[in-house]
Chain A
């Protein structure tokens, strides 16, 4: 150890014996111990001694391996993060109006929420869809809906994110169908489908087929985009839903990296080199309530990703090692009581995401503990980002918490813990096997249960719920109404499409679809694009493949 650090250690020990000991005698601390949300111990003060745990090359500079300090050399000095508020409800026309409103308010990217039937691959007229059509998101059955969803929106100049998983490839096919009918260049389209099926089995629980054919579809999306859509992100490997299902911040970033490893292994088996597709892999994380831990989490996952891509997969292109991510603030931290306080929670979470170097951001509406947000709530949420971007000056400097003794310590602590999780998963037989055994699901459920107990005991403070409660509070809030005519309008259009299409052509394409699905070596995208252009509905495509592959039923753990 260097002379300076020896000197510092003596100074610290002296401080503990003298100033600190005397002070603690008079006034003890609030708690016997302090921990981060994950449970990492927090010391009362950090110094250069802690910074010395991290090799300087692990911190590095922005836009340089291992990207701890940021994905790009200029970060927000070059271009601000994309302000991407998610929207989706009712029919395609309803959501198209909300998109246009958000663009008029200064939003710079689009993000689409689909209703439960669309997410699960059911048509709006399926019995399982009753009561759900257009409720939690927009209903999409056919290409006709997709055309209305993006009517009047310039798809070559705005990036579009679609939060969709088991049925993602069909939505991608529809998106391509819209672009083709407008004569657009597929290589100019930017945006993403989520298509991260493994985290569905872990956390969000939206699936159509068993795990292995589902992973093959993801593989097909990645290889198709690598060859045909140079600017499009074919996957958003997501921690957000893992966190919302109750995981620790550590598992929220460690589990997606386990999923990443599985996807990269599957795609490279087709003969693609990692550098041919990894530059378009994108991520999606939450920003939770523990401010510094969140900043450290984002920095740590960037570093861990760079090392995995370089060391495990032999990437040589820097773009393959540069983790880019979207962030959403944490919906599960929002409360009904004193709901205006949600604006403040969201502001802090958004700031942590920006200080952590996010590429795009969704800030939640203050009314999201009630239902999907109103236009007014979305405007305040967007303004929250705009205040951070335009008024706070934090975007003028890159990684301002870099070099902070505490944040660098937490970053390294988090990175090491991430690799411990990955090593354990490798040792136990890999991600798919452990999903089948419920290992990830149990870890998430355990942490969720512990969190619930801590909230009940008041150890984890939730203002308005277990502290500063206003028992007589009467919540008066205007919420987004559900239009009861949605399902009728939607099903009418679906029936019209079915009536007007060339049924023989569609049947022929369904036969091809099944042949392609049987042959692991084929890519499912081209025939799906033909199908949706011929008027096949999402639910029909999914049903044909369920007949071949079967469905999925999880063995629940609690």
Chain B
């Protein structure tokens, strides 16, 4: 049997909306993945440190406050500095379509907006890990 996919889901900054991130965490855990949730109000540095320490396949970051265009570029830069660009970065939350396209161009592999069905979230994560191949 293949090893379980390792995922860290995170909340960065002051945004306290955690309904979605907890549903995602539970959905992925129920689908057999190893899931760590950072809790609220983390800095990008803390999140990247945790992703590297825990040797995760996927880093999911939920933002509903509108600060995504500030947070994601910083996360990607920090991952690059740590030679951890093989960590798959996925965004979630509320953000305008135009910003989604920009984030993908920057290197966010997928953005899952509100009302994405749980099975679609699981399928997306599995697909992204399969596409990347073994670490």
Footprint of B on A, CB under 8 Å? 116-117, 119-120, 122, 128-132, 135-136, 204-206, 244-246, 332, 335-336, 369-371, 445, 448-449, 452-453, 455-456, 462, 465-466, 475, 479, 482, 553-558
A130, A466, A479, A482 — which one has the most chain B CB atoms within 10 A of its CB? A130
B66, A371: Cβ atoms closer than 8 Å = yes
If the complex has contacts A370-B96, A456-B119, A465-B115, are A132 and B22 also in contact, measured as CB distance less than 8 A?
A: no
A332 CB contacts on chain B under 8 angstroms: 19
B13 touching A128, Cβ below 8 Å: yes
For the complex, would chain A's binding face be called helix, strand, loop or mixed by DSSP majority? loop
B40 near A136 with CB under 8 A, answer: no
Contact of B117 with A130 in the complex, beta carbons under 8 Å: no
Q: B18 is contacted by which of A116, A132, A449, A556 (Cβ under 8 Å)?
A: A556
Give chain B nearest CB distance to A17 CB in angstroms. Answer: 43
Q: Could you say which residues of chain B place their CB within 8 Å of the CB of A130?
A: 67, 70
For this complex, into which size category does the number of interface residues on chain B fall? 35 or more
Would you mind naming 17 contact pairs between A and B with Cβ atoms under 8 Å apart?
A: A116-B14, A117-B14, A122-B14, A130-B70, A135-B65, A136-B65, A136-B66, A204-B16, A371-B66, A371-B94, A448-B19, A449-B22, A452-B23, A462-B115, A465-B115, A556-B18, A558-B37
Answer whether residue B107 sits at the interface, using C-beta atoms and an 8 A cutoff. no
CA distance A64 to B67 in the complex (A): 49
With A448-B19, A449-B23 as contacts: A120 and B96 at CB distance below 8 Å: no
The answer, among B25, B27, B65, for a CB contact under 8 Å with A116, is B65
Is B39 located at the chain interface by the 8 A CB criterion? yes
Q: Mark B29-50, 1 if CB is under 8 A from A, else 0.
A: 1000000011111010000000
Distance between B9 CB and nearest chain A CB, rounded to angstroms: 9
Closest to A479 in B: B96
Residue of B nearest to A475 (CB): B97
Shortest CB–CB separation between residue A535 and chain B, in angstroms? 24
B114 at the interface (CB under 8 A from A): yes
Of A462, A479, A482, A558, most B-chain CB atoms within 10 Å: A558
Q: A556 with B13: in contact, given A132-B65, A135-B67, A371-B96 (CB under 8 Å)?
A: no
Contacts of B115 in A (CB 8 A): 335-336, 455, 462, 465
Residues from chain A with Cβ under 8 Å of B97 in the complex: 475
Taken together as a complex, chains A and B put the C-alpha atoms of A556 and B40 apart, in Å, by 8
Specify which of B67, B71, B97 lies most central, judged by the most chain A CB atoms within 10 Å of its CB: B67
A358 CB, nearest partner CB in chain B, Å: 24
Chain B interface residues toward A at CB < 8 A:
13-19, 21-23, 25-27, 29, 37-41, 43, 65-67, 69-71, 94, 96-97, 113-115, 117-119
Q: How far is the CA of A455 from the CA of B118 in the complex (A)?
A: 10
Residues from chain A with a CB closer than 8 A to the CB of B13 are: 116, 128, 131-132
Q: How far is the CA of A315 from the CA of B51 in the complex (A)?
A: 54
Q: A554 touches which one: B17, B26, B29, B39 (CB < 8 A)?
A: B39
**Complex Cα–Cα for A103 and B5 (A):** 54
A379 to B128, CA, bound (A): 43
Task: State the CA gap A455–B96 with chains docked (Å).
Answer: 23
Query: What is the distance, in angstroms, from A450's C-beta to the closest C-beta of chain B?
Result: 10
In the complex formed, the residue of B with least CB distance to A121 is B14
Say yes or no: A132-B67 contact (C-beta < 8 A), given A116-B14, A369-B94, A449-B26.
Answer: yes
- When distances are taken between beta carbons in the complex, the residues of chain B under 8 Å from A452 are 23, 27, 118
Closest 7 CB pairs of A and B: A131-B70, A205-B16, A131-B67, A558-B22, A116-B14, A556-B39, A456-B117
